[in-house]
């Protein structure tokens, strides 16, 4: 049922979802987002690396996918979850993004021209709204930049052609947001096609469609973050979400050790 009162929130609390990324930490490049998807935490074993083996149209991971935060209670068929509180500690200043990995595809080897890629299914999670598309470097890119051209379809049926540059020598784990050129609409219904610039580098990358859930601002190294239901905005989270962490280090290249917990209440329609 929808959570309409504090009483209902108290009764609807679920067991906290612990997340800790304490081993297998990624290499961090300053002033970029870095994926923690392959770092070791709680629940499911972390993947050996960021290399994906998805179908031609990618895959929709979930809470049991290796690398995801372990959503400890079963998903329910009727109601969604809402983020009630969030706590986190990181020993490096920066920003940690908790996001639902709604879809991912890869790993792709850079090519000149059209990629071997099949148009993805429609994205219906979260009402098809609020996604950010990232390039995630799976194996290090050699000393040449690569420009991707990505055709996206929007919920009104229109398409847009968007470009993003994977910088030369991008390290494993670098996450690069893809700017969307369409001014209206800016939502993403699915990914239609990918093509690459000439003289492609070696290395591999993934595409990740992320639904941001919460951002932890770590204002100083080892500063704690504690957000209650007002601060979290009680964001709706799909109960089968593939929750993951990315970190932005604005001052150096140290990968922080991250520990924390998310508490959900069940009841969003």
Q: Which tokens hold the place of 210?
A: 């992320």
Select 56 or 224, whichever has its Cβ closest to other proteins. 224
Select 205 or 264, whichever has its Cβ closest to other proteins. 264
Contact mark string toward other proteins, 235..264, x via CB under 8 A: ----------------------x-xxx-x-
Does residue 44 contact residue 36 with C-beta atoms inside 8 Å? no
79 lies in the binding site for other proteins (CB under 8 A): no
With CB under 8 A as the rule, give the number of residues binding other proteins: 48
CB of 126 to other proteins, least distance (A): 20
Does residue 247 contact residue 88 with C-beta atoms inside 8 Å? no
CB of 139 to other proteins, least distance (A): 24
Does residue 239 contact residue 263 with C-beta atoms inside 8 Å? no
Instruction: Give, as ranges, the residues between 187 and 226 that touch other proteins (CB under 8 A).
Output: 220-226
Backbone angles phi, psi at 185, to 5 degrees: -90, 165
Does residue 112 contact residue 144 with C-beta atoms inside 8 Å? no
Measured CA to CA, the distance from residue 128 to residue 268 in angstroms comes to: 16
Among 51, 54, 57, 72, binds other proteins (CB under 8 A): 72
Among 24, 43, 128, 130, binds other proteins (CB under 8 A): 43
Determine the 3-state secondary structure of 232 from DSSP.
helix
The sheet with strand 113-114 has its strands ordered as 113-114, 190-196, 146-153, 159-166
80 lies in the binding site for other proteins (CB under 8 A): no
116 lies in the binding site for other proteins (CB under 8 A): no
Measured CA to CA, the distance from residue 145 to residue 135 in angstroms comes to: 13
CB of 227 to other proteins, least distance (A): 9
> Among 16, 13, 22, 20, which Cα is nearest to 72's?
16
Q: Which positions touch other proteins (CB under 8 A)? A: 5-7, 9-11, 13-16, 18, 20, 22, 40, 42-46, 63-64, 66, 70-75, 84-85, 87-89, 91, 220-226, 228-229, 257, 259-261, 263
């Amino acid at each position: 049922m929808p959570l309409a009162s504090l009483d209902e929130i108290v009764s609807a609390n679920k067991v906290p979802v612990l997340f800790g990324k304490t081993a297998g930490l990624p290499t961090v490049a300053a002033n970029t987002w870095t994926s923690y998807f392959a770092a070791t935490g709680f629940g499911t074993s972390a993947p050996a690396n960021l290399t994906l083996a998805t179908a031609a149209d990618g895959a929709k991971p979930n809470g049991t996918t290796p690398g995801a935060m372990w959503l400890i209670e079963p998903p329910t068929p009727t109601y969604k979850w809402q983020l009630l509180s969030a706590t986190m500690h990181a020993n490096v200043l920066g920003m940690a993004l908790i996001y639902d990995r709604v879809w991912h595809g890869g790993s792709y080897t850079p090519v000149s021209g059209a990629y071997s890629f099949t148009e993805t299914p429609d994205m219906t999670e979260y009402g098809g709204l609020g996604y950010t598309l990232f390039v995630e470097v799976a194996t290090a890119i050699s000393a040449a930049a690569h420009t991707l051209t990505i055709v996206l379809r929007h919920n009104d049926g229109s398409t847009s052609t968007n470009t993003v540059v994977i910088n030369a020598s991008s390290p494993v784990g670098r996450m690069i947001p893809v700017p969307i050129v369409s001014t209206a609409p800016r939502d993403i219904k699915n990914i239609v096609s990918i093509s690459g610039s000439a003289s492609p580098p070696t290395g591999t990358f993934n595409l990740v469609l992320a639904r941001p859930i919460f951002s932890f601002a770590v204002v100083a190294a080892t500063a704690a973050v504690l957000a209650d239901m007002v601060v979290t905005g009680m964001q709706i989270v799909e109960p089968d979400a593939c929750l993951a962490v990315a970190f932005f280090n604005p001052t150096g290249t140290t990968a922080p050790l991250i520990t924390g917990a998310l508490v959900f209440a069940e009841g969003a329609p």
